[in-house]
Amino acid sequence: MNRLSPLLAFRVFPMVLAICLTGLALSAMAHETEQKTPDPGFRPQSEYAPAFLDALDTATVAVFPSIVRRADRTAHSFVSQQQIIALLNESNVVTAVAASTRIDLGTLKRQSQWDTFENGMQVIVETLKSQTNHADYNLFMEFLVPDNLSVFGIQCYILDDQGQNAFSFLLNSHHQMFADANLVADRSSEAARAKLIESATQLGVTALLQQIKSPDRQRSSGSEGYSIIAQKVSTVDKKVERVFVITRLHERLIDIFMHSFKHSLISAFESNGVDAIVKFASRESDALAEFGDAVKTYGPDATILIDIDPLYRKRKDGYKAVVGTNFKVILINKSTGQTTWHATGKVDYIKMFGRKYVAHEGIRKEFAWHTTAAIVRAFMADLYGQETAPIYTVTEERQRHGQRTD
């Protein structure tokens, strides 16, 4: 029996992110946004995605009963489960089989879809730890139905046999295909509700197949060893010219990363016309509450929250060497209090230099510079459709062009 290891969960920020479930009795249409993205959902960065894609020809995916989250309870749909299996097998993309375990995620709470997504994944992993696992991957489709008559969002969890997020994503009214599907029941009958879940299931599988066929939606710079997936989730009502940045660092990065990251990030923003203050908090802190007064005093156009963890490579002697960073970013609009943009990414020197790369302390300044480059380049491209002023990531180049190297 395979035992699932704990999920490397998306430990993001204790706050409302993107679309809030502020009124569980409201129709999903009330949450429609004017600006849509053609992407088939938002799929956060996962280092296990390439293995999933490579294994599709031979892998078996266990499809569990679909989860229907309502304000008062969790229900399950075996009809939806069989529909998913049929659609996946008909696609000839992967072999899908049925699994019988029903997972209760509880009632649909008043929280962001991102929090619902993250918490749901953690519950699924914990539940599966005691289960016998015969498949290579596990798939759970979840439908958020706050008022029984409309689908607010779709969440597809795909975990490998070790409990790692392999290819999970979420879909909502910010995505054009979701808006076009118009997932609202035309009446309150049981037949109408069943049709609603059938339509949502079709949309979820369609999005998954599109994700599989076009997985490379992330920006990357192979020469600089980073990749990032980012999405603008609401319009910017004014140009962001002042930002208050709060970064929560893993303790192992504090001494050898923090200083260089702070100054490179300030410099990168300023060279692109954005004034920035950068503060640091502990990894588990309530960062917004901690710096609430300072944010008000500074008066930024937006607040940026960043979580940064080490990317490790385990050596033969068991020591976990730092070979890069994993990071998550959200931008909060001051005037609306809502998330405008969010991103996940990593800096990976093994990918850049290969297995012969030898980690050492000094190079971690460059980890900081690469992390800065990935974040600021994506920020400028997504919010303003423009390239950044040069952000150099090698000591010699920074010295040559007058950028700080401390």
- Region 52-77 average pLDDT: 91
State whether CATH 3.40.190 applies to domain 219-400: no
Distance CA 198, CA 344 (A): 31
Contact indicator for 200, 30 with CB cutoff of 8 Å = no
Alpha carbons within 13 angstroms on the beta-carbon side of residue 78 total 5
Question: CA angle, corner 345, sides to 323 and 125, nearest 5?
Answer: 95
The percentage of the chain sitting over the pLDDT mark of 90, rounded to a whole number, equals 36
Asked if the model's pLDDT at residue 335 lies above 60, the reply is yes
Distance CA 123, CA 104 (A): 9
pLDDT by residue (tens digit) across 139-178? 999 999 988 789 999 999 999 988 889 999 999 888 889 9
Mean per-residue pLDDT of the chain = 82
Q: What pLDDT sits at residue 359?
A: 53
Q: In 70-175, which ranges are continuous DSSP H helix?
A: 78-91, 113-128
Distance CA 398, CA 375 (A): 18
Q: In 111-189, which ranges are continuous DSSP H helix?
A: 113-128, 176-181
DSSP output for 299-355: --SEEEEEEEEEEEEE-TTS-EEEEEEEEEEEEEETTT-SEEEEEEEEEEHHHHH-T
pLDDT by residue (tens digit) across 256-307? 789 999 999 999 999 999 999 999 998 788 888 899 999 999 999 999 999 9
Distance CA 307, CA 195 (A): 41
Higher pLDDT residue, 18 or 247? 247
Q: In 160-253, which ranges are continuous DSSP H helix?
A: 176-181, 190-213
pTM over 0.85: no
The percentage of the chain sitting over the pLDDT mark of 70, rounded to a whole number, equals 84
Read off the pLDDT band of 13 (50, 70, 90).
very low
Q: Where are the domains of the chain?
A: 28-213, 219-400
Distance CA 40, CA 219 (A): 16
Q: What pLDDT sits at residue 312?
A: 83
Q: Determine the residue type at 242.
A: R
Torsion of CA 238, 242, 244, 245, to 10 degrees: 90
SS3 206: helix
Contact indicator for 63, 220 with CB cutoff of 8 Å = no
Q: Across the strands, what pairs with 139?
A: 63, 158
Read off the pLDDT band of 337 (50, 70, 90).
confident
Question: CA angle, corner 254, sides to 248 and 255, nearest 5?
Answer: 165
Residue 361, exposed/middle/buried by CB under 10 A (0-12, 13-18, 19+)?
Answer: exposed
pLDDT by residue (tens digit) across 204-253? 999 999 988 875 445 555 556 677 887 777 777 778 999 999 999 998 88
Q: What pLDDT sits at residue 296?
A: 92
SS3 108: coil
